[in-house]
Structure 1
Amino acid sequence: MSSEPVIRVRGLTKAYPMYARPHHRLLELLFGERGGRWRREHVALNDVGFDVAAGETVGIVGRNGSGKSTLLQLLCGTLTPSGGEAVVRGRVAALLELGAGFNPEFTGRENVFLNGTVLGLTRAEIEARFEDILAFADIGDFIEQPVRTYSSGMYVRLAFAVAISVDPDVLIVDEALSVGDEAFQRKCFARIEQLRERGTTVLFVSHSSQSIVQLCHRAIWLENGEIRADGVPREVVALYHRATLGGASDPVEGAPQPAAATTAEDIEVALEPCAAAVEFPRNGAFIGGATLVDEHGAHAPYLERGRRYRFGYSLHIESIVDDLRAGMMLRNRTGIEISGALVRPQTGLARTFAGGERMRIVFEFDCLLAPGVYFLSCGAMGVKDGREEFLHRWLDAFEFTVIESAGYGVRAVEPHGIVDLRFDAAIRPLEH
């Protein structure tokens, strides 16, 4: 990497005037600011400074409103700073928002030539790359239709295809890629990997912790327009999640730990079903009082990779059931089943349960998942009147987030993918 930074930011500040009433803007024009009488300022970015080296990939994390998009727009020159400076060297390609730079009345083909020209390509260069752009966007005959007829996914496909076609020195991407489907996102990140290998500097905003950790050399956490952390991606992401997701702090050595919940009455923090939850009809039992706790029995608002957790729920039997079984399943955001378990009553317990009985179902597991968002499903089944049936179940009932653990450590073998299988690996010389 060159010693001269490709991106140099010093004291960068952006403030927006805020008016309590629309006519206050006119009064300010007529009579002047009068010491800020008509307005107040919202500081979106405050005295931010950092360098990005050539070929470096930097991910930016932060809550909505933290200043991430403002920073990217200042770097691209679409906003003027209130103070400080941002210098970017080389050809810049940016994908800041859906369809930015597109004319909705022009066809996709016409917008490719328009947008490519804005990005610095000649007509001959655009014509030479057009088929590659069309193949990457994969929107078929819609390339000849006005882009106002496009879905949001088609917009972002074409916009990203044009942006990467210019072979940029610096690629700046906002959260627009989250609009595309899973297959297209994978294709985009694979292309970003190719650009990285060619030495392109990449700066992007993402809510995907896994993307930040796997793709980036470095991560920056913005909070209220200021840099809270700048460093190793897994460490920055862990700090960010701890601050935003809240929850109990790490236990103090020697301090008494809370007891684990074992019955419905002991539950202090029960999980609420998420918006995506699907409850199936009750058929002789019902599930309630679900909890997700750490190894000390403390409520776990998020899960840290490498630690042990306990998921439990109460099962209330309403009719006679034989061969009772209860289970759970973990799925990712695309619906892929990652792992699950099914448990039967322990030896010595009755095989037949009558109405009115209650029990607690508990599953303990090590969290070996990559950072990201996952869903828990749970259900119970048994034999009723000689037939095996579901008694009650919830699909994708509870959502939880996995984050990196500061104590997980950097290992010689870096895990990739959804699940960390705790590989051991080595590179050994061959004997001649």
Structure 2
Amino acid sequence: MSSEVAISVTDLGKCFHIYGKPRDRLLQMFSRGRKQYFREFWALNDVSFEIRKGETIGIVGRNGSGKSTLLQLICGTLNPTHGSIVTNGRIAALLELGSGFNPEFSGRENVYLNAAVLGLTRAETDGRFADIEAFAEIGEFIDQPVKTYSSGMMVRLAFAVAINVEPQILIVDEALSVGDELFQRKCFARIEAIKASGATILFVSHSGSTIVELCDRAILLDSGEKLIEGAPKNVLGKYQKLLYAPHDKVAGIRAEIAHGVQGAASHKPADSNSISAKQVQPPRVAETDDMVAFHDPHLVSQSVLSYETHGAVIESPAITNLAGEPVNCLLRGNTYRYTYQVRFDAGATAVRFGMMIKTLAGTELGGSVSAANLQDAVSFFNKGDVVQVEFNFQCQLNPGTYFLNAGVTGAVGEGETYLHRLLDACLFRVLPVSNLTATGTIDFNCICDITTKGSEED
């Protein structure tokens, strides 16, 4: 394995034996292999990938796809059925809530126990204990048995230990979702600091925005197989399409996703948007006071991703000015109209429409829905109805290129789901501005006042 590779996984597989009845385990033991009393369940099968030092990789997939099993195999808490795993560096892992904690021991004792497992001497743990205790913020409970802890207290302590051993490889498995909002932000800030230090991070999360913000690459697992890896935005789009697919179309979509990556051996992140340099570079436009928005025919999304439909189809997404003229090169501060049509191929109830503006990397910036809750949604549409949807929005974005999504939801069974959704439906650009003082992505109209209060000599 190259010295630049932190984790190498080759043809990895993990098979569990599933017994129908407890007595079958005993019968299997006495059968000496002459008869099989179990069925095989392959949680992972022939999974291969490499993670280079300093990369942050997100793993996504539906429940039961094998994500947690993969992390446990990498950490060594499970043994593979076949294949190999090679790691290069000290691993700190935050897997199942409280895993590795002895419930009878106090928090303090568990800190020393976990630190020893991670390779720290007692003297090293002594030197870091104050930082661990301060990060966990559980007060006097540090000396109480862990079995008396709430779930939030347990994950605080577990995370505090994991990130204070200076890991070269940090593995996190959706454990932060139980903490409160303030603690989650604190954890993500520390993860960003660990990433900046050059550590490798392997991260499992159901939060798409977290994957986009933290990760350099993403891997999609489904039914124990790796379907695709690449830029987080692309992988998340495929994952969401699979997640919301009708049951009878899942197999076809899985095959479509897997077929699209055959032969893709490169570990270099792919272009997340598949848009050309010509599209990204704005045309030369003279900056004058009478600039107007206009339509650039070359500025067309090449990465539109359509969900499978549940009786509705979104068509003709477009941006216009308030006079109804098509535009995709916008002026900051002006109001525009985002429109699309929805054709209903089946009756639908409790229908809501939505839009979302995203960066090229996939970070969600903001959007809107047509109703705040299901009680205010449109109660019913008939089969054959065609609806024109319009959202007016004020462009408060700084110069750059952005995407617009479109979605329609409705009641299916006992819940609400997407009847149809288009990711990257429209591509638009916000035109350059001279003498720009706003920074970042969104212009919050910040005003700076500077007042001189006099010198010390006065």
TM-score exceeds 0.5: yes
Relative to structure 1, is the Cα distance of residues 127 and 259 closer, same or farther in structure 2, using a 3 angstrom cutoff?
closer
Q: Does 1:292 align with 2:352?
A: yes
- Per the TM alignment, residue 229 of structure 1 is displaced from its structure 2 partner at its CA by 1.3
**Counterparts of 2:126 and 2:418, CA distance in 1:** 47
TM-score by length of structure 1 reads: 0.64
Match of 2:370 among 290, 300, 311: 311
**Counterparts of 2:420 and 2:170, CA distance in 1:** 28
- The 5-angstrom pairing of residues 20-99 of structure 1 reads 20-34=20-34, 37-99=36-98
- Per the TM alignment, residue 364 of structure 1 is displaced from its structure 2 partner at its CA by 3.3
**Counterparts of 1:157 and 1:149, CA distance in 2:** 14
Q: Which residue of 2 aligns with 1:132?
A: 131
Quote the RMSD (CA, aligned, Å): 4.2
Aligned length, in residue pairs: 318
5+ long unaligned stretches in structure 1: 272-290, 296-302, 313-327, 331-359, 377-396, 414-418, 424-432
Deviations 1:294-335 (A, max 9, x none): 69xxxxxxx9969998626xxxxxxxxxxxxxxx489xxxxx
**Counterparts of 1:410 and 1:81, CA distance in 2:** 48
- Per the TM alignment, residue 268 of structure 1 is displaced from its structure 2 partner at its CA by 2.6
- Per the TM alignment, residue 83 of structure 1 is displaced from its structure 2 partner at its CA by 0.4
- Per the TM alignment, residue 63 of structure 1 is displaced from its structure 2 partner at its CA by 0.9
- Per the TM alignment, residue 32 of structure 1 is displaced from its structure 2 partner at its CA by 2.5
- Per the TM alignment, residue 293 of structure 1 is displaced from its structure 2 partner at its CA by 3.6
**Counterparts of 1:402 and 1:150, CA distance in 2:** 44
Aligned-partner SS, 1:405: strand
- The 5-angstrom pairing of residues 319-358 of structure 1 reads 328=372
Q: Which residue of 2 aligns with 1:405?
A: 423
> Contact 1:62–1:222 at 8 Å: present in 2 too?
yes
* Aligned amino acid, residue 244 of structure 2: L
Q: Does 1:193 align with 2:198?
A: no
**Counterparts of 1:259 and 1:236, CA distance in 2:** 26
> Contact 2:314–2:341 at 8 Å: present in 1 too?
no
Q: Which residue of 2 aligns with 1:384?
A: none
Deviations 1:145-195 (A, max 9, x none): 111111000000000000111101100111111111111111111101000
**Counterparts of 2:354 and 2:133, CA distance in 1:** 49
> Contact 1:307–1:367 at 8 Å: present in 2 too?
no
TM-score by length of structure 2 reads: 0.61
Match of 1:270 among 349, 373, 376: 349
* Aligned amino acid, residue 20 of structure 1: G
> Contact 1:304–1:405 at 8 Å: present in 2 too?
no
Relative to structure 1, is the Cα distance of residues 408 and 239 closer, same or farther in structure 2, using a 3 angstrom cutoff?
farther
Q: Which residue of 1 aligns with 2:236?
A: 237
Q: Which residue of 2 aligns with 1:167?
A: 166
> Contact 2:58–2:217 at 8 Å: present in 1 too?
yes
Relative to structure 1, is the Cα distance of residues 197 and 407 closer, same or farther in structure 2, using a 3 angstrom cutoff?
farther
Among all aligned residue pairs of Structure 1 and Structure 2, give the percentage whose two residues are the same amino acid: 50
> Contact 1:11–1:48 at 8 Å: present in 2 too?
yes
**Counterparts of 1:84 and 1:366, CA distance in 2:** 53
5+ long unaligned stretches in structure 2: 246-306, 318-339, 356-361, 375-386, 396-401, 410-414, 432-439, 445-458
